[in-house]
Structure 1
Amino acid sequence: METTKPESQHGTLADVEALADAHLLNDTVQTLSFDSLTVTVPVKGSKEEKKILDNVSGIIRAGEMVALMGPSGSGKTTMLNLLAGRTHKIATSGKIFVNGGELSKTKFRKISSYVEQEDHLIGSLTARETLDFSARLALSNSITAAERKRRIDALLASFGLVGNQTTLVGTPIRRGLSGGQKRRLGVASSLITCPKILFLDEPTSGLDSAASYEVMSYLKNVCKSNKLIVICSIHQPSTSTFNLFDSLYLLSQGKMCYSGSLPETREYFASIGHEIPHFYNPAEYLLDIINVDFAQDKQAASEQLQVIQSKWNSSEKLSAIKDQIVEAQNGKTDVVLEAQGKTTQILIPVVLLHRSFVKSYRDVFAYGVRIAMYMGLAIMMGTVWLRLSTHQESIQPFINAIFFGSAFMSFMAVAYIPAFLEDRATFIKERNNGLYGPTSFIIANFFIGVPYLFLIAILFSVVSYWLSNFYPSGTAFLYWVMWLFLDLLAAESLVVFVSSLFPIFVVSLALTAFLNGLWMSVGGFLVSPRILNVFWKYWARYIDYQSYVFQGMMVNEFSRRNYECGEGCHCMYSTPLEDKCMIDGDGVLAVYGYKTGKNGEWAGILVAIIVGYRLLSWLVLKIKRT
């Protein structure tokens, strides 16, 4: 039974008019055509090449919603990415035309938008806030707040989200929008960038048939009303969803089996001996007859597929399409871009900072969990190393406490990985749609963390420093906070770098933990710098931010204090104060080879390491496109 939706749930005529009045979209793009598109990739282990897209041609007109279908490995995702200008480092040939002419990648990106298969929405924002931040990132700051609000209201109405505009998208611990509503919001946030061509990768993935129909019917409504070109790669839709499309492009093994009007599909396949049965899902039937991978008789299925592709290549329909492509080129018209431009690069980090701030106080996984973890660690440390005395027996516990406080605070920065990976996924989506680049992202990401990390350093120190009875002075306390703050900044910068390089949670976690283990090993506590193996000493230790923090905290404590010797004036460390039954703290530092008066130098090196990690993160994001 086909799924139907009441008309009242779609955007009303007034909503459509509001969308048009808001000038979100216009009809300056009449056609998107492509001729003889071919993509080849090298075959591993040989000098041969494989065609994953072979001589594909077609033409799509404004107001059409196109289904790009085919079995797994048919080339539909490659075709979608090629049309969207998202192919990198692969050999391609053929031409893509807009209104019969070729466009530069920069200009094409300004008139198109791409909706990923994954939503990549920030779960701690509401539906309205998601659209608002998308508008502020995409549109010029010359657009007034009232105009921006009008555009957002129009999209909320057109996609049936007015009643859910204050609902959170949803986080792992807070329920929010349904799957279908999230998908509609993802499409709406892409439309606010004023595209004329919209690409969607598996927009119904993970949705049931009712939700799939809901999403696609809303999209069809907006597509028709605003003369959009909408191209969707889709896998085996329900009959009701399939019938929403205007055109079908059917691929198998990189070759076209059919392209053209959806209503003419049944007639065409009947003419070549494959009549679609009545009361049968046409999408399912078409995929069955062109799918070789799961056929019981693969040879027969392969021969059948070759016949279907051969008949299409010699069909009158393909000849007509070729003629239409030539006709579009002969009647080439310019693509008119809106004069508003993009948001200035200076303003973008401010918008990103605002968005990150909203996320930071709503999403407990961003900093809330970490603050709780660090406070628990502070209480544990303060009560384990409780009120250490100034007797020589407390010297080693003081050293142990310094190592524990600095090293484990650094290690626990791995808790930031999930939050950063969510931010990174959002950045990749928005960067690919031309909103901003890695510079703005890295700047905003750094500055949003500074106040929270400083707060963590203060809270941790207030509890652990005084409970453990480190040197009781305001100056010494502030130096301790400074070292801890720089330690946290460096640790989070390491997380950002590793997670940018390997954006998979388990891999990032494992590598960050390994590096922290390495820094602990060569930092100066477990093995004295005086006897550390030269292989590790002359490279790892000099780039180990934990070693500078440990040195700074050691000097902060031991350069200020003297310690009482044991009974009979037996001193564990030989210092000039030995005849007074005391140990000069500088003698403890001498055992480790630490000198005083180098706080500025060590702090400068830590700042350089932090900047270095951030620059490496920027470089990785600059190079990596996914």
Structure 2
Amino acid sequence: MYYLASIVADLPVLVAQALLTAVLVYGMTNMRDGVLSARFVVFCAAILQLSFIGRALVTFIANVVPHEGAAGMVAIIANNFFWYYQGYMCPAPLIPRFLQWLNFVSYFKRLYEALAINEFAGRPLDCEPSHLCRWANGSELLVEYGWDQARSPWMLLAQSFVFLGLFHACALTCMLFLNFETGGGVEEAQRCRAHPSDDDGIVSVPMVAEKNEDAVVDRAAHLPILTVESLCYSIGNRTLLTDVSLFAQPGMLVALMGASGAGKTTLLDVLAGRKNTGAVTGRVRVNGSDRDRLDFRRACAFVEQFDALPSFCTVREVVECSAELRLPPDIDDRSRRAIVDDVLGTLGLLRWQDLMATDLGGALRKKVSIALELAAIRNGAGFLFCDEATTGLDAPAALDVVDSLVAVSRHTPVFCTIHQPSSQILDRFNWILLLRPGGAQAYFGPTALLDDFCRRAGYPGRDPDENLAEYALRTVCAEAPARNVHPNPVPAPDVVVPSAPAARRRRPGRVSSLTTFRVLLRRRFRCELRDTTYLSTRFLCLLVFSCMVGFMFLHLPYTYDGIVARIACCFAIVNNLAWAQQAKISYIVNERPCYYRELALGMYGETSYYLASALAETPFLMAQAVCLGVPAYLLAGLSLSSPATPLLYLATLWLSAEASCSTISLITALSPNAVVAFAILSAVYTMYAAFGFLLVYSAMPVFTLGFYYASFFRWALFANVSGEMLAIGDVSVDCNDSGLASGTCTDSILQTFGIVPDQQWMYIAGLVAVGIAYRALAIVALKAIKHIKR
């Protein structure tokens, strides 16, 4: 039922986009008889059927391939197989006999044949016979492509229902019998947590510090103390926090509690200096001095409610990366490793340090999130802020996380928002701050004194069996007290303002741009290399596709059809390599929470992050170009007259892959989610493919030339075709297959496409320029557009 419901739910969208496409395309391109004709109905039916079958094929692949990126790659390759063997890229009579079955099983074939018969059967063509227009009427064109004009378009459309039913049946079968929810790493981690060994206990901070006396910075020299007086926060005319006063020092684990919407997370964000909208009033001091927002944010550890960890990194690597990018640059490698060991030991993560962080269970993932934040402040004064640290965890796991916070609070003040904690968990918090709806402070003080405060304030008595947290939410956080009792029963401690030299000594330093780039480059390269499922699927699909394209254009002759097929072969390779990068969209969107978290913490800038990511994927793009380009090049019999020709061909493919990645990065940076990005990418790449190959230069309207020059498809295709034509040189092309006298028809073909072989290096320069332009625009988009606001 779920599968059928999803199909029905998609129908309105598929019908709407198919009909919109049909009306626009049919009307704007002046197709046969106009939109008020029976032929237009056939066109609409074919486009609609194409949408249905394409949706079924993608659903089938998504249910049979467990990895999102790999599924996208397989979908692209499978669809390209069907598309390239439909009979347009290479007419069916020219496809080698042993590959004719691919033409037969292509669902595009019947739909494309129906459209061609609908448009060309019996239609006179307004052109004089030449090398490039060899047909007096549409029927002759259909015969050349191997299509029988006597066949009914409706019969061909009816035959395509076989593919629709087949793909849906396969998708449903996979959904019923395949289950990719493997819990291996998670379940193992949870089992080990439930039965820890002797060395899995919480390591006390003094113990670790004694082992690394020469490495770990002495924390006692400058204990962090935060004092807040009359803090208010508002957005426009709406007040979210009212007159909040508190303090924190080492040894304090402060619970922030209140009813839903009372402002717990808002207070946490304001205290940590993470709000970039609204107005904040009141006084916030650190060690007696007014808070410097930038320095304070770099000295704060903030753990968000939902864990955002980098993919394919071990627990130790995640923590080390945070330490490398956020600790002052004057801390050497030995000291940094000691700090990481200290943090992992304090949180009991040493046993799990070599496991992938994203494969861990909920409690361990939360500890890793805490660890990577603590690693940035263990060199000196700092504060830890946790938003709903126990959300989504069962009782033992939640208690495990809170016990870790207790260990951390011995030397670092900890604030933690929490919602309806159990009695066991609440007992771990030695201080508590209660908020009423509207952000008004109701109580701040030791948890042990809350009962006495309620009695003095005139609240009803608490049943001995009632959870103190539930009682406080029911009474203190819900209504004003009967008598005016100050919500802060304990005054803030007297704080001695540190001397100027000491303040300067503790001022957080910034890591150099070179170090930041190096760390990001190493992490991103590891991610690419460790994603073995996607990596192997990607290269296997490219290799198989390259062989199939090479076989389709096997040993191209020096004839009219051979020259046209060479251009089609070059386009097929460039087009597929460009589309193969679309899986990058899913990766970028999935990494956004981690990226925005690290960006907000000042770990790096947009430019460093983007350039490191681009450079890390360069070796893999080069390998893709070789994997896709070499088999097809050799099988198709493209020129080997000079070693420079195939090498320049592969270099151009690599540059086109780089340009594709830059285009995808720009589109994704502009898009709020993956669905929008994929939709925009499909439209953009379809236009880019059209302007340069599917629509020849001589047929382009003047106002569309912008797409022609912006299309990296066109620059890469023209560069590779130019190299092939220059390598062929003065070889005479036999034009007898066109029905005309023998001669050299190469120039006429190239002129139609607008290709000038002598300008090969200009085409390569244009490809480089387009790629650089898209990368620059992507960086600007990353800086200007943030899809997560605070």
- Do both proteins adopt the same fold according to a TM-score greater than 0.5, normalized to the shorter chain? yes
Instruction: Assess if the C-alpha contact under 8 Å between 1:19 and 1:155 holds in 2.
Output: no
Provide the residue aligned with 2:413 in structure 1: 229
Report the CA distance shift for 1:80/1:127 in structure 2 as closer, same or farther (over 3 A).
Answer: same
Point out which structure has higher relative CO (alpha carbons under 8 A, 6+ apart).
1
Provide the residue aligned with 1:517 in structure 2: 686
Provide the residue aligned with 1:153 in structure 2: 341
Provide the residue aligned with 2:226 in structure 1: 32
Secondary structure in structure 2 of the residue aligned to 1:564: coil
Provide the residue aligned with 1:254 in structure 2: 439
Provide the residue aligned with 1:307 in structure 2: 480
Q: Does 1:396 align with 2:564?
A: yes
* In structure 2, C-alpha distance between the alignment counterparts of 1:477 and 1:410, rounded to whole Å: 19
* In structure 1, C-alpha distance between the alignment counterparts of 2:777 and 2:476, rounded to whole Å: 47
* In structure 2, C-alpha distance between the alignment counterparts of 1:558 and 1:202, rounded to whole Å: 65
Q: How far has the Cα of 1:214 moved from its partner?
A: 0.7
Report the CA distance shift for 1:495/1:29 in structure 2 as closer, same or farther (over 3 A).
Answer: farther
Deviation per CA, 1:227-247: give whole Å up to 9, x if none: x11112222223222221122
Provide the residue aligned with 2:366 in structure 1: 183
5 Å matches for 1:89-108? 89-108=277-296
Q: How far has the Cα of 1:392 moved from its partner?
A: 1.9
Secondary structure in structure 2 of the residue aligned to 1:51: strand
Deviation per CA, 1:142-199: give whole Å up to 9, x if none: 43333233222222221111222222224xxxxx322211211221111111251111
Match among 771, 779, 783 for residue 618 of structure 1: 779
Instruction: Assess if the C-alpha contact under 8 Å between 2:525 and 2:617 holds in 1.
Output: no
Deviation per CA, 1:404-436: give whole Å up to 9, x if none: 221222122111223334554433322322322
Report the CA distance shift for 1:367/1:490 in structure 2 as closer, same or farther (over 3 A).
Answer: farther
Instruction: Assess if the C-alpha contact under 8 Å between 1:559 and 1:586 holds in 2.
Output: no
* In structure 2, C-alpha distance between the alignment counterparts of 1:433 and 1:565, rounded to whole Å: 66
* In structure 2, C-alpha distance between the alignment counterparts of 1:541 and 1:149, rounded to whole Å: 53
Provide the residue aligned with 1:563 in structure 2: 733
Q: How far has the Cα of 1:103 moved from its partner?
A: 2.2
Report the CA distance shift for 1:587/1:209 in structure 2 as closer, same or farther (over 3 A).
Answer: same
Larger Rg: 2
Instruction: Assess if the C-alpha contact under 8 Å between 2:559 and 2:733 holds in 1.
Output: yes
Instruction: Assess if the C-alpha contact under 8 Å between 2:719 and 2:761 holds in 1.
Output: no
Instruction: Identify the range of structure 1 (588-597 vs 125-134) with the bigger mean alpha-carbon deviation.
Output: 125-134
* In structure 2, C-alpha distance between the alignment counterparts of 1:88 and 1:247, rounded to whole Å: 28
Report the CA distance shift for 1:215/1:560 in structure 2 as closer, same or farther (over 3 A).
Answer: same
* In structure 1, C-alpha distance between the alignment counterparts of 2:703 and 2:460, rounded to whole Å: 71
Instruction: Assess if the C-alpha contact under 8 Å between 1:142 and 1:340 holds in 2.
Output: no
Match among 264, 267, 271 for residue 76 of structure 1: 264
* In structure 2, C-alpha distance between the alignment counterparts of 1:290 and 1:591, rounded to whole Å: 81
Amino acid at match of 1:380: M
Normalised TM-score (structure 2): 0.68
* In structure 2, C-alpha distance between the alignment counterparts of 1:123 and 1:253, rounded to whole Å: 38
Deviation per CA, 1:271-315: give whole Å up to 9, x if none: 432433333333234334578xxxxxxxxxxxxx3535x86xx42
Report the CA distance shift for 1:532/1:269 in structure 2 as closer, same or farther (over 3 A).
Answer: farther
Instruction: Assess if the C-alpha contact under 8 Å between 2:399 and 2:424 holds in 1.
Output: yes
Q: How far has the Cα of 1:445 moved from its partner?
A: 0.9
Q: Does 1:126 align with 2:314?
A: yes
Match among 506, 520, 535 for residue 703 of structure 2: 535
* In structure 2, C-alpha distance between the alignment counterparts of 1:475 and 1:158, rounded to whole Å: 59
Provide the residue aligned with 1:242 in structure 2: 426
Instruction: Assess if the C-alpha contact under 8 Å between 2:235 and 2:277 holds in 1.
Output: no
Normalised TM-score (structure 1): 0.85
Report the CA distance shift for 1:363/1:557 in structure 2 as closer, same or farther (over 3 A).
Answer: same
5 Å matches for 1:10-409? 10-12=202-204, 15-18=207-210, 21=213, 22-23=216-217, 25-26=219-220, 28-42=222-236, 49-140=237-328, 142-170=330-358, 176-194=359-377, 196-224=382-410, 226=411, 228-251=412-435, 252-270=437-455, 271-289=457-475, 305-308=478-481, 314-318=484-488, 324=492, 331-333=496-498, 336=503, 337-338=505-506, 341-364=509-532, 367-409=535-577
Instruction: Assess if the C-alpha contact under 8 Å between 2:258 and 2:473 holds in 1.
Output: yes
Instruction: Assess if the C-alpha contact under 8 Å between 1:36 and 1:54 holds in 2.
Output: yes
Q: Which one has a larger percent helix, Structure 1 or Structure 2?
A: 2
* In structure 1, C-alpha distance between the alignment counterparts of 2:475 and 2:701, rounded to whole Å: 67
Report the CA distance shift for 1:31/1:560 in structure 2 as closer, same or farther (over 3 A).
Answer: same
Secondary structure in structure 2 of the residue aligned to 1:614: helix
* In structure 2, C-alpha distance between the alignment counterparts of 1:443 and 1:245, rounded to whole Å: 44
Provide the residue aligned with 1:605 in structure 2: 766
Match among 710, 713, 718 for residue 546 of structure 1: 713
Q: Where in structure 1 are there 5+ consecutive unaligned residues?
A: 43-48, 171-175, 292-304, 572-577
Amino acid at match of 2:580: M
Secondary structure in structure 2 of the residue aligned to 1:419: helix
Report the CA distance shift for 1:371/1:101 in structure 2 as closer, same or farther (over 3 A).
Answer: same
Provide the residue aligned with 2:115 in structure 1: none
Instruction: Assess if the C-alpha contact under 8 Å between 1:122 and 1:422 holds in 2.
Output: no
Q: How far has the Cα of 1:591 moved from its partner?
A: 0.9
Report the CA distance shift for 1:463/1:333 in structure 2 as closer, same or farther (over 3 A).
Answer: same
Secondary structure in structure 2 of the residue aligned to 1:87: coil
Report the CA distance shift for 1:188/1:80 in structure 2 as closer, same or farther (over 3 A).
Answer: same
Across the two proteins, how many residue pairs are aligned to each other? 579
* In structure 1, C-alpha distance between the alignment counterparts of 2:319 and 2:422, rounded to whole Å: 29
* In structure 1, C-alpha distance between the alignment counterparts of 2:416 and 2:785, rounded to whole Å: 25
Match among 599, 617, 622 for residue 449 of structure 1: 617
Provide the residue aligned with 2:72 in structure 1: none
Q: How far has the Cα of 1:393 moved from its partner?
A: 2.5
* In structure 2, C-alpha distance between the alignment counterparts of 1:241 and 1:333, rounded to whole Å: 36
Q: Where in structure 2 are there 5+ consecutive unaligned residues?
A: 1-192
Secondary structure in structure 1 of the residue aligned to 2:244: strand
Provide the residue aligned with 1:9 in structure 2: 201
Report the CA distance shift for 1:495/1:4 in structure 2 as closer, same or farther (over 3 A).
Answer: closer
Q: Does 1:428 align with 2:596?
A: yes
* In structure 2, C-alpha distance between the alignment counterparts of 1:28 and 1:359, rounded to whole Å: 38
RMSD value over aligned CA atoms?
2.9
* In structure 1, C-alpha distance between the alignment counterparts of 2:376 and 2:400, rounded to whole Å: 23
Instruction: Identify the range of structure 1 (346-355 vs 612-621) with the bigger mean alpha-carbon deviation.
Output: 612-621
Instruction: Identify the range of structure 1 (210-219 vs 377-386) with the bigger mean alpha-carbon deviation.
Output: 377-386
Instruction: Assess if the C-alpha contact under 8 Å between 2:520 and 2:609 holds in 1.
Output: yes
* In structure 2, C-alpha distance between the alignment counterparts of 1:4 and 1:398, rounded to whole Å: 64
Q: How far has the Cα of 1:377 moved from its partner?
A: 2.4
* In structure 2, C-alpha distance between the alignment counterparts of 1:260 and 1:463, rounded to whole Å: 73
Instruction: Assess if the C-alpha contact under 8 Å between 2:697 and 2:752 holds in 1.
Output: no
Match among 623, 636, 647 for residue 478 of structure 1: 647
Instruction: Assess if the C-alpha contact under 8 Å between 1:19 and 1:154 holds in 2.
Output: no
* In structure 1, C-alpha distance between the alignment counterparts of 2:485 and 2:621, rounded to whole Å: 66
Instruction: Assess if the C-alpha contact under 8 Å between 1:120 and 1:422 holds in 2.
Output: no
Q: Does 1:507 align with 2:507?
A: no
Instruction: Identify the range of structure 1 (276-285 vs 156-165) with the bigger mean alpha-carbon deviation.
Output: 276-285
Instruction: Assess if the C-alpha contact under 8 Å between 2:388 and 2:419 holds in 1.
Output: yes
Amino acid at match of 1:315: V
Amino acid at match of 1:244: R
Provide the residue aligned with 1:46 in structure 2: none
